[in-house]
Amino acid sequence: METSLGGLRVSKKKSLREEVYASLKKSILHGKLKAGQRLIEEQLADQVGISRTPVREAFHKLERDELVTRLPKGGFAVREFTKEDVEEIFGIRSALESYAAYLATLHITSDKISALEKKLKESEHALEKGDDEKVVQFHTEFHDLLYKSCKSKKLVEMINNFRDYFYRYRSALLHMENGINYSNKDHRQMLEAMKKKNPRLAERLVRKHLARGKDLVLKEIEEGRMAP
């Protein structure tokens, strides 16, 4: 049995606390629940059709994850972006993804190159149509294909541990002015470096790509368009 509240989906086959926690976490990291949005325990519990206890327990776990903050007068709200968050997540991404690109360039096969090319063209086509959500989806799939080409199970596992956190910033970045254009151009350069079997160049381009993304997000925060 599964019940739903907007982006929140709860299957009653597993621990309710874990299901509520996982659903809320995904909704926060994928931007369905916005930074600063108040989360009302009673409303969530009533509309999903469960008791308040698992919702309260999920909020406490999300608080430990630093994804929600406790409000002064009670209740919780989705934690907003901070400069420290941006620096930390982009630093982790740069270390893991640049190494993944290096290894992928060494090991990549022609069929994987074709798959990356197809995903990039789909992203460019979605951009032309103004379908931002599809662009985010295709960008995520491009990165996923790149990771899987690195032939390092442990590295892919490490990246996947942070996958939803990366998604939150990628989604925010691609909704900024020029964010999508920059990302498409960067992906094109990365793919060309991989085609030429130049792992050092691919690694540098990924670092450059993520440094640009970090700077764009920090600028949005500094200029007040993304609440710190």
Long-range contacts of 221-228 (CB under 8 A, 24+ apart): 221/81, 221/82, 221/83, 221/86, 226/35, 226/81, 226/172, 227/35, 227/36, 227/80, 227/81, 228/80, 228/81, 228/82, 228/83
> Mean pLDDT per 10-residue run, the chain (228 residues)?
51 73 86 86 85 91 91 89 89 96 96 95 88 84 91 94 79 68 87 96 95 87 66
> Strands, DSSP E only, in the chain?
2-5, 8-11, 38-39, 68-70, 76-78
Contact call for residues 45 and 20 (beta carbons, < 8 A): no
Task: Give yes or no: residues 65 and 176 share one domain.
Answer: no
Residue finishing a domain among 50, 78, 106: 78
In the block, which residue shows the tokens 């970090």?
214
Residue 167: the pLDDT is 75
Residue 228: the pLDDT is 45
Distance CA 171, CA 135 (A): 9
CA 36 to chain centre: 18
Task: Give yes or no: residues 72 and 89 share one domain.
Answer: no
Task: Give yes or no: residues 46 and 120 share one domain.
Answer: no
Instruction: Provide the CATH number for the domain around residue 14.
Output: 1.10.10.10
Q: Domain residues for 29?
A: 2-78
Residue 10: the pLDDT is 55
Residue 28: the pLDDT is 86
pTM over 0.85: no
- 3-class DSSP state of 70: strand
